Structure formats: structure tokens, C-alpha cells
Structure 1
Amino acid sequence: MNVRNYLAALHLTALAPEHLEACLNLDQASLGGLWNRAQWQSELAEQRRPGVGLWQGQQLLALASGWLVVDELHITVVAVDPEQRRRGLGQQVLKALLLEAGQQGALHATLEVSPANTAAVALYRRLGFRDAGVRRGYYRNGEDALIQWLRLSDMNDA
């Protein structure tokens, strides 16, 4: 399958409670099980927690999710199937999430990212995110996190 046909076969949807198993499976494969079942159930059930999934048939290839707090989207997770990385899928779901959040009134977006995750840092920079600080010892392993911010009106068309 060529790239054009591959991309044409993909479809974006809003994540919903019926996507629980697919989210759990992708989380495990991509992030090593960042969230447990109860956390995913909450994420998928709350109206102020928008999420977007990119599917090929019944397989969830990528997702992005966040929390809306007043006029800010706090991006909580971006995950791409390890076998599907470096194809622009993370960018697709993240842009879709940012657009959805903007339609729901968000003016800004923020996230935390490991400085060692160079692919994620590069993705966020392409979309216009900028460093705003560091959270010391943020991750379970004691690693720091970069705090990144984006004013949605400044989003790059990457």
C-alpha cells in the first residue's frame, strides 16, 4: 500500500467510553501502561476531557487526549502504535485535539514532556509549542519534564 492509500484508509474520531479496550491496548503498547483501566474510564467519560483517535479499520493507531480547564487545554497523553511511528500520525491526532479544544473555547494548550523524548519535543516544536519551564522530578523515574505552552492562535500549520 502506498503512502497516499495508507493515509486515505485512516479516520479520526472523538474518543468515547466504547473505545476503552483500544485505548488500554495502545497505552500499553506505546507507553508501557501509563494509565490503568479506572483512569482511562474517567478520561473517556468526562465531557471536559476531549480525546481524538486515529483508526485504521478497528485498530487504534494513535490518540491524543487532554483536560479543558477554563480556557486552557492540558494535554495529558499522546500515543502512537510503535509499529506506526514516524508517519505523522501523532501530529494528526494532536492537531485534531488542538482544533477540538479551540472549538470548545480553549485559547492555550500546555503539556509536559521528557527532554529525552526528542521525537515528541520535535513534534511539539513543529506545532508551535515553546518551553515555559521545568518540573523537577516529574516522572516516576525521577526525570524532569519540560513544560511547554502554545497559544492556539499561534499554532503552526506543520
Structure 2
Amino acid sequence: MACLKLDALALNGLWTSDHWERELSDPQRICIGIAARADTLLAMACGWVVLDELQITVLGVEPEHRRRGLGRTVLKRLLLDASSAGARHAILDVAEDNHGARTLYSAFGFQTVGRRDRYYRDGKSALIQSLEMQREMKLNSINSALSW
């Protein structure tokens, strides 16, 4: 499974194959991917919309392809698809020491609204970040600053 391979490379095996099967088969989930081949993902982002909130569950980019706009592309598509599904807010967790991801989220307008100490298996803390999608999209920060 391509998601599981990328998960192992980019996210240190965050999810199991059972978790990925549930994620990909649930019609309530939104998953976006950029593939090099049918069995190889370069980037992915997933989430689900609950009422008017997108909960971003995962975003990963193959390490050798980082800093090429792939994360930006899958995040933008995820936000746009979620907005079409009724989301007006987005929320995610990001490792406090993941400066690349935090820079990406900041470019979209995400702001830190909380912290989870020792949240990850390796003991690292997570920052909770939130985005008011409707406001940010009205200001065109997503569409103009982050063009395809």
C-alpha cells in the first residue's frame, strides 16, 4: 500500500495498515495524494470534516522530495475540498520541533492555539494549530500566496 510506504518514510510509521485501510475506505474522509507511480506516493494529506471543521489527520512528503511545493499542493487541495464540503475551520497537530511543517502551516495562516506535552510516541510535544478557512480564503492568502 503506497500510503503505508510513505507513512514509514515521512512519518516514522505513524499509522498501521489497518488504520490506512479504514482511512481510505471511509467516505467521510478526504485524502489527497501525489503519485510518482501507482505504488509510490510522493506526498499525501488526509482529514475529515466534522460539522464545519476540518480535522487534518496526516500530511507527509517523501523526504527526498521535500521543499518542492508538494506539501503545499496537497494541503491546498485538502483545504479547498474540505471547504466545498462545508468546513470553515481547520485544526491539526504538529510536532513542536518540525520547523518545516510549521513554516508551511504558517504560510497558510494557521496559528498555534494550544500545546500537548509528550503527545507523540517518541515523547515529543505537539502544537495544536487552527485556521479560520473562510476568513483566510476571503483574504485570498491561500489562493494568491500559494499558487499551483
Normalised TM-score (structure 1): 0.83
Counterpart residue number, 2:12: 32
Stretches (4+) displaced over 3 A: none
For 2:133, the equivalent position in structure 1 comes to 152
Matches within 5 A, 1:1-158: 21-58=1-38, 59-153=40-134, 154-155=136-137, 156-157=141-142, 158=146
Q: How large is the RMSD of aligned CA atoms in angstroms? A: 1.1
Aligned-pair distance for 1:144?
1.5
> Which amino acid in structure 2 is aligned with residue 39 of structure 1?
H
Q: Distance in 1 between matches of 2:52 and 2:75?
A: 17
CA distance in 2 between counterparts of 1:68 and 1:136 reads: 25
Q: CA deviation at 1:143?
A: 1.9
Q: How far is 1:56 from its partner?
A: 2.7
Cα shift at 1:45 = 0.8
| Identical-residue share of aligned pairs (%) | 49
Residues 126-147 of structure 1, C-alpha deviation per residue, up to 9 Å, x if partnerless? 0110011111221112222111
CA distance in 2, matches of 1:24, 1:57: 15
- Taking the aligned partners of 2:84 and 2:54, their CA distance within structure 1 comes to 11
